[in-house]
Amino acid sequence: MRTRLQVIQDIVDAVQTKVYLEIGVEEGVVFYRVKAPKKIAVDPQFLFQGRSKLRKNRLVNSLFYGNHEYFYEQTSNDFFKHHKQQFTTEKVDVALIDGLHTYAQVYIDIMNVLDILSPNGVMIIDDCNPPSAVVETPVVDSITEVWEKAKKGELAGWTGRWTGDVWKALVRLQSERNDLNIVTLDADYGMAVIVKGENKNNLGFTLAEIDKLTYSDLDTNRAKWLNLKDSDYLDEILPLLNKAK
Ligand SMILES: C[S@@+](CC[C@H](N)C(=O)[O-])C[C@H]1O[C@@H](n2cnc3c(N)ncnc32)[C@H](O)[C@@H]1O
């Protein structure tokens, strides 16, 4: 079975990626390992350790790392507000959306990425398939909210692993967009793969209905709502990904 990094790299390779964007980078565990000609990192607080701290300096990057990594230490909303115009000609081929894990923010991130995605580009959304209610615990503004609850002992079964309610963004997209094809690979905590194409899994929910959905609803309907596929399904998708080139 592929690791999370292998899923991402296989997709990056399949679409012959020139530009890779990662929203939510943390220590750079994925960002620094992914191989692509140009990589863009966005995070309000990079948590790079050791030498990788220096790597975000332009001069260091140009001298030692081929000058192909670009770092934006800001929220994704600020990044898109100030830098979207730079993608007028050079589009993003693969984006990993792994920033603030709230339904609202993931939806905004997806909408913003769609504006700068190449015609055959791919979005990968991390953490779409929470295995339990505690892992899914929704927050409003920040992961700190869930840490505070855990510290107070309010989250029975808390292990430190958190996905938030990212899954709701997939339910919304599949309800309102007929031009996006979405599958979720049962890899890691659910990796959704989104490409432009016919939506064959229209869910038909209204926004008000989606707002009311809970983890227990997801648990009963996850195969359909996430369009959940075994992780090996990626082998079927990969040959199709560069067809639009
Ligand atoms: C799960 S971690 C990312 C892990 C990383 N993608 C990896 O695979 O190694 C989530 C990251 O999202 C960042 N984040 C939180 N709010 C954000 C926002 N509004 N915009 C972009 N990133 C955000 C956090 O600072 C954190 O580093």
Which CATH number does the domain housing residue 223 bear?
A: 3.40.50.150
- CB of residue 76 inside a 6 A radius of ligand 1: yes
Neighbours of 245 (CB within 10 A): 9
* pLDDT > 60? residue 99: yes
Instruction: Report if residue 245 sits inside a domain.
Output: no
Average pLDDT for 52-59: 88
The proportion of the chain whose per-residue pLDDT surpasses 90, expressed as a percent, equals: 90
The pLDDT mean for the chain works out to 95
Q: Is residue 179 part of a domain?
A: yes
49 - beta bridge partners? none
Question: How big is the CA angle at 87 (ends 82 and 89), to the nearest 5 degrees?
Answer: 145
Residue 188: pLDDT band (50, 70, 90) is: very high
Cβ(222)–Cβ(201) under 8 Å?
A: no
Helix (H, G, I), strand (E, B) or coil at 100: coil
Note whether residue 73 is domain-resident.
yes
Chain centroid offset of residue 145 CA: 21
pLDDT score for 245: 45
| Identity of the amino acid at 35 | K
Residue 240 lies in a domain: no
What per-residue confidence (pLDDT) applies to 23? 98
| Range from 57-71, 86-100, 127-141 carrying the lowest mean pLDDT | 57-71
CB within 8 A of 51, min separation 6: which ones? none
d(CA 110, CA 4): 19
Handedness of CA 217, 223, 225, 226 (dihedral sign): positive
CA of 135 to the centre of ligand 1 (A): 17
State in Å: Cα 103 to ligand 1 middle.
Answer: 14
Contact residues for 94 (Cβ-Cβ < 8 A; gap 6+): 8, 11, 12, 15, 17, 19, 20, 21, 36, 121, 122, 123, 124
Q: Pick the closest to residue 233 from 173, 176, 190, 203 (CA basis).
A: 190
Any domain includes 243: no
Q: Decide: 174 in ligand 1 pocket, CB within 6 A.
A: no
Kindly state whether residue 238 falls inside one of the protein's structural domains: no
Say if ligand 1 is within 6 A of residue 164 CB. Answer: no
Least confident of 25-34, 51-60, 125-134, 153-162: 51-60
Q: Based on the structure, what is the number of domains in the chain?
A: 1
- Could you tell me if the CB of 34 is within 6 A of ligand 1? no
Closest CA to 136 of 155, 162, 175: 162
Rounded CA-CA distance 161/97 in Å is: 17
For residues 95 and 125, give the distance between their C-alpha atoms in angstroms, rounded to a whole number: 8
The rounded radius of gyration (Å) of the Cα atoms in the chain is 18
Residue 24 lies in a domain: yes
Higher pLDDT, 96 or 62: 96
- What does the longest C-alpha to C-alpha distance in the chain come to? 53
Do the domain assignments include residue 228? yes
Taking only the tens place, the pLDDT of each residue in 189-245 is 999 999 999 999 999 999 999 999 999 999 999 999 999 999 999 999 999 997 654
pLDDT classification of 100: cutoffs 50, 70, 90: very high
In percent, the amount of the chain with pLDDT more than 70 equals 99
Query: Given the CA of residue 47, which atom of ligand 1 is nearest to it?
Result: 27
0.85 cut: is pTM over it? yes
Distance CA 5, CA 9 (A): 6
pLDDT in tens, 104-116: 999 999 999 999 9
Does ligand 1 come within 6 angstroms of the Cβ of 197?
Answer: no
pLDDT at 66: 84
Q: What single DSSP character describes residue 201?
A: -
Residue 72's DSSP bridge partners are: 42
Q: What range defines the domain where residue 223 resides?
A: 4-233
Q: Is pLDDT above 60 for 123?
A: yes
Are 190 and 130 within 8 A, CB to CB?
yes
Is the predicted pLDDT of residue 166 greater than 90, yes or no?
yes
